[in-house]
Structure 1
Amino acid sequence: MVTFFEASLETISVHHVGNQTQEEMYALSDQPLELKDELIPNLLMQYFLKPFEKANEVYHLMHSSGDLALNELHHFASQVFEDNSKFHEASQQIARHLYKVTNHPNIKGGELYVVYFKQVQIEGNPLDVIGIFKSENKETYLKVYPDQGGFQVDYEQDAININKLDKGVLIFNIEKENGYKVVVVDKTNGGQEAARYWKDEFLQLKIRNDSFNQTSNTLGIYKNFVTEKLDDEFEMSKADKIDLLNRSMKYFKEKETFDIEEFSNEVIGNEQAIESFKNFKNQYEQEFDSPIADNFIISENAVKKQARVYKSVLKLDKNFHIYIHGDKELIEKGFDDGRAMNYYKVYFKEEA
């Protein structure tokens, strides 16, 4: 979704943001970073942008009041997109804003990089982009070098691994009135409260309600419905639940569009269960203020992502795992009175 083979790094400013609850301060640079080595910009491009190549979710900046002008990042980004000469000043304001919301004891301090890129593509559209990145975790590296006919070993502490971006966000100069197109990376956490501050407090994001999001949400809602809700209304074995999950995944893999009536009839089949699923879906939409259309184009990437968490494994005590991928009629559950234990009988033609 995000590519950068034609992109260029125009300007970068670096600051340090500590944790105010740990009595750490922030330190602002006086001017943008001067990149003298031609290799450094290429390394930085890899460090900053490569993690976004697999980002599928697109967000918009928002504000809880509904007034987008109150979102700090939207305000600073708009300033810079309108007048590039305000870039460094805006980067300082971004650092101050991040420090203001860094108020949980588990949040690590670190360097903040604010970068202006050109020609970064999202959904095939090359755009100017403001990137904001934070490095929190440092590593120690060994260096081996020739010395007097042999070799010496040295090390460097508190160095940054350019293959491990901790936190980052790209704000694309498009759809300003909706909160710009935004993609985000957050690979660090210090507990749920600490992890939330980047997306929810610093950026204040809402996910774009596109086909990826609609596909992902529908699969997630259905999975929760099968694993959590069905037991309240029906007596179902775990094998039956796995079958329902497998049938839903088969539907999403084979179809190009989702239709709730078609899905309900083909996958669920039972009228009472269908009504229960629709009510469950409506409750989700109301609780999270995230409407899902009854018809939408299925996102292949969202299906692949959800397939990783759709479990087709039947776990039996600590002795056996049965993987169920096909016809549930080929597996039978029973009870052995002599052993006072449950059992499964599995039918097959060939042993692989």
Structure 2
Amino acid sequence: MIHVADTNNLSQLAIHKVGNAGQEEPLILSPSNLNLDDETVANLLLNYFIQPFVKNAEYFHFTHDADIELNEIYKYCSLIFDDKDQFHEQSIHIAKHLYKSSTHPKIKGGELYIVYFDNCQVDGEEMEAVGIFKSETKDTYLKVFLQQDNYGVNYDDGININKLDKGCLVFNTKRDEGYKVSIVDSISKQNEAIYWKDAFLQVQRLEDSYHQTETAVTMCKEFIQNHLPNQYEMNKADQIDLLNKSAAYFKENEQFEMDEFAQNVFGHEDAVASFRSYKEQFQKDFRLDVPDEFDISAPAVKRNQKDFKSVLKLDKNFHVYIHGDRDKIERGYDELTNMQYYKLYFESES
């Protein structure tokens, strides 16, 4: 959980205009910090910057192939943490670095906000943070106003304070490991958005319990849905039963233990051995590390619960939601109609 409760903790703010360098759009640098004298504006900005991060439990860290000190954003943030008087100078360097990274033809120009937070609460700990935020999308707003004895309507373009396009919070902790970093990118699925995380920030996900849980959930889903059916005769109801057992394990346990999970979910020794073998191949194929034991992250389980789908789709006529007892559903074939069927057993309906 990330939280900044007081606008007094938003101690410094610089705004620069960063265009698309590839399109020869300008880079406009402000000569000084912005004075936040209006408390209403300060509160609106604080909500705009922080709200998208509140429920973000996924963290990254700065990286570099040769030396972490050569990562530009890591270096500029370190100089700010060492000396707050360098804030504005380093905010200019950050803006210039973003400008050099903005060469893809679809990257939109926009305002870049660099913020220094005196006190930011992260997962129960209080620390300093540097925020880097970019607004790219402009919305059109109607203005209704009273003009003499009648109303008039006009419009203007502005920033939607409920939608942050891109953001990054760098927390002053784990400096030797590349800091603890949280990221927001509202258009991250588009190719041109890769520049924010990879070219500009150069970050990788932290190998923490969140990442380990998320990776394990993906691995288990892939094994049940794609690998097991190639080895054993399984129908969709059997797969859903295994997905339900997997979901229950992640929800009910605080720690993942590979052997315990495999025995609880798959039971049969051949399937357990197949899962162990698949885990090794999964790690090699995706260059990921899935420890045999790790703490289960509840936020990661909640975010990825959609992976454990319990819906059995039958043609275009029926969706059957299977939440438990696999023994109460039977599959068969009817020779008269030349169709397959499921038989459901229940005590009451509602």
Whether these two folds match at TM > 0.5 is yes
Residue aligned with 1:74, SS:
helix
Matches within 5 A, 1:253-292: 253-292=251-290
Question: Distance between the aligned counterparts of 1:190 and 1:331, measured in 2?
Answer: 39
The answer for the alignment partner of 1:205 in structure 2 is: 203
Q: Cα deviation per residue 1:28-70 (whole Å; 9 max; x = unaligned)?
A: 222222334232111111100111111001211111x152112
The alpha carbon displacement at 1:341 in A equals 2.1
Matches within 5 A, 1:309-320: 309-320=307-318
C-alpha spacing 1:287/1:179, structure 2 compared with 1 (3 Å): farther
Query: Is residue 82 from structure 1 mapped to residue 82 from structure 2 by the alignment?
Result: yes
Question: Distance between the aligned counterparts of 1:70 and 1:203, measured in 2?
Answer: 12
Question: Distance between the aligned counterparts of 1:101 and 1:252, measured in 2?
Answer: 40
For 2:289, the aligned partner's letter is P
The answer for the alignment partner of 1:252 in structure 2 is: 250
Contact 1:259 1:295 (8 Å CA) reproduced: yes
Contact 1:17 1:27 (8 Å CA) reproduced: yes
Q: Cα deviation per residue 1:251-297 (whole Å; 9 max; x = unaligned)?
A: 11112221111111011112222222222222333344432221222
Query: Is residue 144 from structure 1 mapped to residue 144 from structure 2 by the alignment?
Result: yes
Residue aligned with 2:304, SS:
helix
Gaps of 5+ in 1: none
The answer for the alignment partner of 2:164 in structure 1 is: 165
Question: Distance between the aligned counterparts of 1:343 and 1:70, measured in 2?
Answer: 63
Tell me which moved more, 83-92 or 244-253. 83-92
The answer for the alignment partner of 2:52 in structure 1 is: 51
Among residues 325, 334, 337, which one is paired with 2:335 in the alignment?
337
The answer for the alignment partner of 1:175 in structure 2 is: 174
Aligned-pair RMSD on alpha carbons?
1.7
Normalising by structure 2, we get a TM-score of 0.94
The answer for the alignment partner of 1:69 in structure 2 is: 69
Q: Cα deviation per residue 1:80-112 (whole Å; 9 max; x = unaligned)?
A: 111222211211111121122222222222111
The answer for the alignment partner of 1:14 in structure 2 is: 15
Contact 1:223 1:310 (8 Å CA) reproduced: yes
Residue aligned with 1:308, SS:
helix
Contact 2:221 2:307 (8 Å CA) reproduced: no
Question: Distance between the aligned counterparts of 1:60 and 1:286, measured in 2?
Answer: 23
Question: Distance between the aligned counterparts of 2:281 and 2:99, measured in 1?
Answer: 37
C-alpha spacing 1:205/1:288, structure 2 compared with 1 (3 Å): farther
Contact 1:6 1:120 (8 Å CA) reproduced: no
Tell me which moved more, 242-251 or 145-154. 145-154
Question: Distance between the aligned counterparts of 2:297 and 2:189, measured in 1?
Answer: 32
The answer for the alignment partner of 2:319 in structure 1 is: 321
| Number of aligned positions between the proteins | 349
The answer for the alignment partner of 2:108 in structure 1 is: 108
For 2:23, the aligned partner's letter is Q
The alpha carbon displacement at 1:161 in A equals 0.8
Question: Distance between the aligned counterparts of 2:109 and 2:188, measured in 1?
Answer: 13
Superposed structure 1 runs of 4+ greater than 6 Å apart: none
Q: Cα deviation per residue 1:300-347 (whole Å; 9 max; x = unaligned)?
A: 212111113321111112111111111122112222223222222222
Contact 1:107 1:190 (8 Å CA) reproduced: no
Percent identity of paired positions between Structure 1 and Structure 2: 48
C-alpha spacing 1:318/1:211, structure 2 compared with 1 (3 Å): same
The answer for the alignment partner of 2:35 in structure 1 is: 34
